[in-house]
Each structure stands twice: as structure tokens, then as C-alpha cells.
Amino acid sequence: MHGSPLVDSLGQSVLFVAKDRYIAVLKELSADGYEMCIDLTAVDYLTHPGRNLPDDIVAERFEIVVNLLSLRHHKRLRLRVQVAESEVSIDSAFDIYPGSEAMEREVFDMFGISFSGHPDMTRILMPEDWDGHPLRKDYSQGFIPVQFKGAAS
């Protein structure tokens, strides 16, 4: 579909797109009738044992997951784009789906994936001067050890 492998995952359609074709495919899908970008998020597969990908897709550390909804055709579609750790950036979908502005900021804040072409690439959840990206797997949990005297352990 649009030159990228389409996989059926438990009844849901998943499209694996290469990073260089990401915006082109989004434009085509948006013209096809997928008017709404429901969600744009990311996954860090650093500690993941292994996942099934189509043959011509190279597995990278990060994955951008975009959920699209077509109100006209009553269809949903998921895009998965691999993002390498060596080049942690991808094009912004803001021009096609302006509603992704906040979601891309959240991905940048939590994973460190910057979106080129985004009008305001700053942190949205953590304070502006925060160090590190909390939802990465190698980010320490940052907890205070608490001795709970009431418990048995």
C-alpha cells in the first residue's frame, strides 16, 4: 500500500514505512481520506527481545507509531516508522496534521526524537531545563528507596 508493506495485526492494519518515505506516505494517506491523526507516539525497543517486522524493514531502536482515522471510509490505519539511534530525528507531520503538534513535542520530551519542521520543538511535560528523556529504557527510574516497615519483605 503506497509502496510500503501492509501487515494485518489481529484485525488492525499496520503500515511499515521507511523514514525517507514517511511524509510522502502521510500526504498520500491524507489525500486518500485519512483526515484525522489520532495519535503520534514512539516506542523504545532497547530492551525488547525481538519483534516481527516485514522483510525489507530494518529494525531500529526507536519506532514512531502514528494512528490515522478515516471518518469517510470508517477505517483506521497504523503507521510504524523505524528511527535509528544514530540519527534521532524525523520529519514533522505538522504540515499535514496540525493536531500532531503537541504529540510530537511529547515524543521529543520523553524520547528525544526531534521533529524537523516543527514550529516549537520544546519540552511539554518536563520543565524546560530538564536533563534527559524519561521514557527511554536507559533512563534511570529516579526513585527514592523507601523502607516500608509494615510489609513482610
Binding site for another protein (CB under 8 A): 94-95, 98, 101, 119-120, 125-127, 130, 134, 139, 141-144, 146
58 vs 144 by CB, closer to another protein: 144
Burial class, 72, CB count within 10 angstroms (exposed 0-12 / middle 13-18 / buried 19+): exposed
- The type of residue at 13 is S
- Nearest approach, Cβ of residue 118 and another protein (Å): 10
Distance CA 151, CA 98 (A): 50
Q: Which is nearer to another protein, 54 or 117 (CB)?
A: 117
Min CB(104)–another protein separation in Å: 12
Nearer of residues 45 and 139 to another protein, judged by Cβ: 139
CB of 143 to another protein, least distance (A): 4
Q: How far is CA 104 from the centre of its chain?
A: 8
Which helix (DSSP H) or strand (DSSP E) does residue 103 occupy? helix 101-111
